[in-house]
A and B are shown apart, each in its own frame.
Chain A
């Protein structure tokens, strides 16, 4: 047999499937045993998955010096497994979190009680590049600003889920959650027959209903449009897929025109009014009349139409104010303040450099911390102290001293791992998880989410643009009888139970 499983998990890391003695984690034993029983056949399944991804055209776009190129989506077929019970607590925690975040955003653009009461320092908002005075006084339907959120979760060495960040602007990745499942069902059809793996495709039904519920016109069928920057955007594949699934028109900025505070799209039958825009374009490109004047990614006058209540925009402009890594550190306080509840999922410990006590701690411990700028995404500007050179740390120190408001620091986490096919071995690789939270009349959390995996040994970088891969995430409903005798059935074909 060619394929070797490296049984020992990494020291001081929680492994998603395997316990520290190398045995399968409770709830995972059936899957792990059957995956092992495939032997080299697992490599055939991996090859089948890659062939399916090629023929279905599941791609993502990579920006390079020579323009953008489409790459096949990287999927490791070994799933990441979470029990339904544990997932329920995560779901509750995320819903709680988004309730607080939406209340916070709404408060910021109205009475700012949270600032007046001194919960969050006013200077943080004044200094935030994502606070939009253009949004003050606007009241989106249901008081919801962040309709769609992708929060990044990690586990610490004890296996506890922590929120690493909340993406409230234009979070992406959900299409790959759906496509990973598509492919997994093709290559592991017998496992899906024999196990109770919860389906993930309810997400797009809920998204469609959520978008329709935002329509300002209640007397006509709402016209929903998904606003994409266009075919060269890295997430264009996702924009096409989501528009298809939710019955939205896939529009670009030049397809839209605003007249008398009403948004229209240009169709072959003439102009048609648009009620809801699911925008996948950043705030600053939405409307050249109010933001970047050269932008053609959004129509002139969109903001005025939105403020007039004639069109809904999801996520609402300005929602990104809570997407700031400094404000992130206040989320536990915000949950207390707005909901009078204890946070159900914890944050990663975070030092705010704005606070002199925190700052001196950070500056004294740069080599053992992760330092992050407040308003970057995709891992930009992040320095992992233990891997940085002295020159880099000196530079970092200068940046923090120059602009402390813009910096936070966190301990270097030992992210959890999952067994992953790496050439001829199955070895532990670090993973994170991005679930997607819909906020509206009724909140909804995706069943699992997108598991990303750092394919290079020892690294923590999971971004697909930097060589990261992905896994299907299985939320498994454990019947009592399934955990008990699972180890007895190890045949690759399985037997009916």
Chain B
């Protein structure tokens, strides 16, 4: 046995923050692309009389008040342009990928060269082609290439980068963003459920669409249960095997946090999400209580973010109290 010891490399707070935000923006870009894709499919599948429109998509990604006031009637073209191509919208796919690019430039020295190349390719592609998301017939290929580019980057980092603290922050950022997205999706999908008895059959379509947009449909189907509101809600809250749920995301965040010194506050914030979901009445959530619950979940996720930010990125503690050398 050699006496080799793995070293934890130094990580600047600013670089840790960049890695974290790179993870969040990458997940946001990929998530937004998935949402647009499945919503496009859903509008094709549902009869026009159901008429869910494009407003709900805006609701999932978070309503932009400026956009909403300027565009009271959210047409498909306006919404997709806003979400995919608008450089002024900081949450658009285009802006998110640019933000990943910007953040990873400051952390490039611990990112594999292949990852840098994959990122540049994705960035150049999205900047040049984001407008092609607007027309339906070119939308699919654009979203597909964007999602694939994000997955490629994630894969290269997973297999090519040291699994050090920088990688942990990148992964934590991705999982926090994902948990947040699932919470918003649950909120919106619940609100979409037809109230009219004669339309009840379409409820399942809505849930299947939601699962598909999270890339969780196949995992769900293997459970062999119908895509009812209670089954899907429970799955997206609790399933530990499927990496697209709130439960598994919070578990990964907690596990990653445990390896970073001074993790107590952030881990405790994760625990409160676990308690919140554990106490949930699924039946009630399926019947009107989801909106408030989703708000609470999002609030709790925000608390995890704040704990991370205050512990590692912008600590308020007097500097010299925490010298390690």
Chain A interface (Cβ < 8 Å from any Cβ of B): 54-57, 220, 223, 231, 236, 240, 243-244, 249-252, 254-255, 257, 259, 264-273
What's the Cα separation between A301 and B319 when bound, in Å?
A: 15
Contact A57 to B117, CB < 8 A, known contacts A268-B312, A272-B325: yes
- Inter-chain contact count A-B, CB under 8 Å? 88
B42 within 8 A of A: no
Contacts of B102 in A (CB 8 A): 231
Tell me the nearest residue of chain A to B116, going by C-beta: A57
Instruction: Evaluate contact between A269 and B108: CB separation under 8 angstroms.
Output: no
Closest Cβ–Cβ distance, residue A291 to chain B (whole Å): 22
- Chain B neighbourhood of A271, CB < 8 A: 319-320, 322-324
Taking a contact as CB atoms under 8 Å apart, the answer to whether B320 and A57 are in contact is: no
16 A-B pairs with C-beta separation under 8 A: A56-B113, A56-B120, A223-B10, A240-B109, A250-B109, A255-B12, A255-B13, A259-B320, A266-B14, A266-B319, A268-B12, A268-B313, A269-B165, A270-B261, A270-B323, A271-B324
Do A268 and B106 touch across chains, with their CB atoms under 8 A apart? no
9 pairs of A and B residues whose beta carbons are closest in the complex: A270-B322, A244-B109, A57-B120, A268-B312, A268-B16, A271-B323, A266-B13, A270-B324, A273-B325
Q: A255-B13, A266-B319, A268-B16 are in contact. Are A250 and B325 (CB under 8 A)?
A: no
Contact A272 to B106, CB < 8 A, known contacts A54-B124, A55-B121, A57-B116 = no
Output the nearest chain B residue to A58 by Cβ-Cβ distance: B120
Chain A residues with CB below 8 A from B200, complex form: none
Which of chain A's residues have a CB closer than 8 A to the CB of B113? 56
Binary flags per residue of B257-284, CB closer than 8 Å to A gives 1, else 0: 0001100000000000000000000000
Interchain CA distance A229-B249 in the complex, whole Å: 37
Question: Which of A56, A231, A265, A273 touches B117 (beta carbons < 8 Å)?
Answer: A56
Query: Could you say which residues of chain B place their CB within 8 Å of the CB of A55?
Result: 117, 120-121
Q: Which of A56, A240, A251, A264 contacts B105 (CB 8 A)?
A: A240
- In the complex, the answer to whether A267 meets B106 with C-beta atoms within 8 Å is no
- B10 A267 Cβ-Cβ under 8 A: yes
A264 in contact with B323 given A55-B117, A56-B117, A250-B109 (CB within 8 Å): yes
- Do B106 and A250 touch across chains, with their CB atoms under 8 A apart? yes
Alpha-carbon gap, A272 to B120, bound state (A):
32
B98-121 interface bits toward A, Cβ cutoff 8 Å, 1 = contact, 0 = none: 000010011011000100110011
In the bound assembly, the distance between CA atoms of A297 and B121 in angstroms comes to: 32
> Looking across the interface, which residue of chain A has its beta carbon closest to that of B319?
A257
User: Chain B nearest CB: distance from A457 CB in Å?
Assistant: 32
Question: Bound state CA distance, A259 and B10, in angstroms?
Answer: 20
Q: Are B319 and A269 in contact (CB under 8 A)?
A: no
Is B11 engaged at the interface, CB distance under 8 Å to the other chain?
yes
Most buried by B among A249, A251, A257, A267: A267
Decide if A269 touches B261 in the complex (CB within 8 Å).
yes
Cα A113 to Cα B102 with chains together (Å): 51
- Quote the shortest CB–CB distance from B309 to chain A (angstroms): 12
The one of B11, B109, B116, B120 that contacts A267, using a Cβ cutoff of 8 Å: B11
Whether B116 pairs with A268 at a CB distance below 8 angstroms is no
Taken together as a complex, chains A and B put the C-alpha atoms of A245 and B186 apart, in Å, by: 46
Which of A220, A240, A251 has the largest number of chain B CB atoms within 10 A? A240
User: Residue-by-residue, is B268-305 near A (CB-CB < 8 Å gives 1, otherwise 0)?
Assistant: 00000000000000000000000000000000000000
Q: Are A269 and B10 in contact (CB under 8 A)?
A: yes
A-facing residues in B184-233 (Cβ within 8 Å): none
A260 nearest CB neighbor, chain B only: B320
How near does chain B come to A256, taking the closest CB pair, in angstroms? 10
Would you call A231 and B106 a contact (CB within 8 A)?
A: yes
Instruction: Kindly identify, within residues 95 to 150 of chain B, every residue whose CB is under 8 Å from any CB belonging to chain A.
Output: 102, 105-106, 108-109, 113, 116-117, 120-121, 124
| CB of B23 to closest CB in A, whole Å | 15
Chain A residue numbers with a CB within 8 Å of B116 are 56-57
B114 to chain A, nearest CB (A): 11
B297 shortest CB reach to chain A, Å: 27
Tell me the bound Cα distance from A272 to B9 in angstroms.
Answer: 12
B108 near A267 with CB under 8 A, answer no
* A254 / chain B contacts, CB cutoff of 8 Å: 14
CA distance A249 to B166 in the complex (A): 13
Interchain CA distance A220-B320 in the complex, whole Å: 20
Q: Are A249 and B12 in contact (CB under 8 A)?
A: yes
Identity of the chain B residue whose Cβ is nearest the Cβ of A259 in the assembled complex:
B320
Assembled-state Cα–Cα distance A273/B13 (Å): 14
**Contact A267/B13 with A54-B124, A244-B108 known, Cβ cut-off 8 Å:** yes
Shortest Cβ distance from B168 into A: residue: A268
For B260, what are the chain A residues with a Cβ–Cβ distance below 8 Å? 268
Q: Which residue of A lies closest to B105 (CB)?
A: A231
Give 7 new A-B contacts, CB below 8 A, not counting A240-B109, A271-B320. Answer: A55-B117, A243-B109, A249-B12, A250-B106, A251-B12, A266-B319, A272-B10
Nearest opposing residue in chain A for B109, CB measure: A244
Which residues on the B side are within 8 Å of A266 (C-beta)? 12-14, 315, 319
The interface residues of chain B lying within 8 Å CB-to-CB of A269 are: 8, 10-11, 165, 261, 324
* Distance of A308 Cα from B312 Cα, bound (Å): 30
Select one of B14, B108, B169, B312 contacting A255, CB under 8 A: B14
